[in-house]
Amino acid sequence: MEMKELEQYFKALGDGSRLRILNLLLEGELCVCDIQRVLGMRQPHASRHLAYLKNSGLVRDRREGYRVYYRLAEAERGKRKGLYAFLEEVCREGESFREDGRRLRKAMVAGACARSGGKSEGRAGGKMARGKAGAKERKGKG
């Protein structure tokens, strides 16, 4: 791992809002509107932090219509994989992170945007159910 890459990762981790976003993305791919709803952020605030995480190499995005979905960058390399494992452990221990996770799961049950049919690469393959049925359900709504 190059010094510059390591520096970018740690700068990205140096903000509480970005840590909370990463905690949610450990669960799997999410729409920006889900992130802002669960964390109580305004859209510009969430988008700015997501752009920072993307520029650091920790997060990837994809567009589906007018929605943008974010996920953790692939952990094919050992260092990033170790970093995600560390984050998962830390987030499991922090009450505010656990509360964010509870709000996310509640939003998913209520039919949040992330029910896109997109692949989930989060914890244990992604705890949240996504599939073609969810994508069809969303298309029917709007």
User: Does pLDDT of 128 surpass 70?
Assistant: no
User: Measuring CA to CA, how many Å separate 34 from each of 10, 88, 125?
Assistant: 25, 20, 19
Give pLDDT, residue 5: 81
> In the chain, what are the domain boundaries?
3-141
**Does residue 89 carry a pLDDT above 70?**
yes
Report the chain's mean pLDDT, rounded to a whole number.
Answer: 79
Phi, psi values for residue 70, rounded to 5°:
-120, 150
Average pLDDT over residues 82-101: 92
* Candidates 1.10.287.1080, 1.10.10.10, 3.40.718.10, 3.30.70.2170; CATH matching 3-141: 1.10.10.10
* For the chain, percent of residues with pLDDT exceeding 70: 77
In the block, tokens 């964010």 appear at 100
Please state whether beta strands 67-72 and 30-31 pair in parallel, antiparallel, or not at all (unpaired): antiparallel
In the predicted model, is pLDDT for residue 137 greater than 70?
no
pTM to 2 decimals? 0.77
> Roughly how many angstroms between the first and final C-alpha of the chain, as a whole number?
44
Identify the pLDDT of residue 88: 93
